[in-house]
């Protein structure tokens, strides 16, 4: 069983503040690291897929970095807005011989933006 | 384009009953997955399929069977439901499983086993 850890488990942030949270994953057999955003009563939606050590991805006010050698990724949200409230999931894709198998998800960081 | 759809949305079963959950995708994706989501546990992979006619076990396959007779459909079966299978089940699909392919999720099926 692969260990994908996310911290913190939950986070309350004032509107307008910036925030970040962490995903740690195995540093061996790395294939990709996914970030998903999951709003209540909806399905998870992909934010980023990161594959290379040192990768940085950005979508609007949200960005992510990747360190495959030490096995962690950070997700940053700049100037948080109420619509950013969601659970943010990271998922590790392991390389296994001929390709990859299913994603191993962390338990998520539940972000609440307070007006 | 409906994306990934799941049937049914809700279901209540008695212990020992059987049922099948249907996942359908219209994106011509090769890979399909079944996850379960439980409080405090995150999403856990039950079974997945890398193409029509193939299936493979994930992290928590016991008590479930799957079939992929058509490329667009992935069925999850519970032969004899147990209360431990009370969960929300999500289906997902991806074009392939290369390092850059994202997964697209269905809306979920909430199953309660009494």
Residues of A in contact with B25 (CB under 8 A): none
| Cβ atoms < 10 Å from Cβ of B25 | 23
pLDDT at A102: 75
pLDDT at B97: 66
Any idea what the Cα angle at residue A45 is, between residues A41 and A50, rounded to 5°? 150
Residue A101 pLDDT > 70: no
| Contacts (Cβ under 8 Å, ≥6 apart) of A45 | A36, A37, A38, B105
Chain A contact present for B106, CB below 8 A: yes
pLDDT at A21: 94
Q: Provide mean pLDDT across the span A42-59.
A: 93
| Contacts (Cβ under 8 Å, ≥6 apart) of B94 | B29, B30, B31, B33, B101, B102, B103, B104
Judge: A51–B45 Cβ closer than 8 Å, yes or no: no
Strand ordering across the sheet containing B19-25: B4-7, B19-25, B73-78, B65-67
Q: Provide mean pLDDT across the span B70-96.
A: 95
Spell A54-86 as b/e; 16+ CB within 10 A means b: ebebeeeebbbebebeebbbebebeebeeebbb
Residue A99 pLDDT > 70: no
Judged by average pLDDT, the poorest of B57-61, B64-68, B96-100 is B96-100
Testing the interface with A: which of B54, B93, B99, B104 to mutate, by most A Cβ within 10 A? B99
DSSP class of residue A107? Answer: -
Residue in chain A lying closest to B5 (CA):
A43
Which residues numbered 2-41 in B keep a CB inside 8 Å of some CB on A? 4, 33, 35, 40-41
- Distance in angstroms (rounded) separating the CA atoms of residues A46 and B59: 21
Which residues numbered 3-62 in A keep a CB inside 8 Å of some CB on B? 31-32, 34, 42-46, 49, 51
Contact B67, B54 (CB under 8 A): no
pLDDT at A94: 85
What is the distance in angstroms between the Cα of A90 and the nearest Cα belonging to chain B? Answer: 10
């Amino acid at each position: 069983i692969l260990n994908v850890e996310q911290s913190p488990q939950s986070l309350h942030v004032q509107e307008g503040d910036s925030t970040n949270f962490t995903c740690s994953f195995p540093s061996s057999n790395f294939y990709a690291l996914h970030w998903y955003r999951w709003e209540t009563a909806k399905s998870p939606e992909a934010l980023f897929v990161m594959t290379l050590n040192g990768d940085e991805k950005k979508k609007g006010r949200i960005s992510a970095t990747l360190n495959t050698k030490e096995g962690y990724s950070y997700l940053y949200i700049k100037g948080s807005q109420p619509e950013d409230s969601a659970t943010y999931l990271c998922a590790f894709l392991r390389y296994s011989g001929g390709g990859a198998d299913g994603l191993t998800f962390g338990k998520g960081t539940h972000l609440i933006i307070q007006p | 384009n409906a994306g990934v759809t799941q049937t049914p949305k809700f279901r209540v079963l008695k212990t020992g009953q059987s049922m099948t959950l249907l996942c359908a995708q219209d994106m011509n994706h090769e890979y399909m997955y079944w996850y379960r989501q439980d409080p405090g546990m995150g999403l856990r992979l039950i079974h997945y399929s890398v193409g029509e006619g193939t299936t493979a076990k994930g992290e928590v396959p016991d008590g479930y069977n799957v079939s992929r007779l058509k490329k667009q459909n992935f069925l999850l079966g519970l032969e004899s439901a147990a209360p431990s299978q009370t969960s929300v089940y999500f289906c997902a699909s991806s074009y392939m499983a290369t390092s850059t392919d994202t997964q697209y999720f269905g809306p979920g099926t909430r199953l309660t086993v009494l």
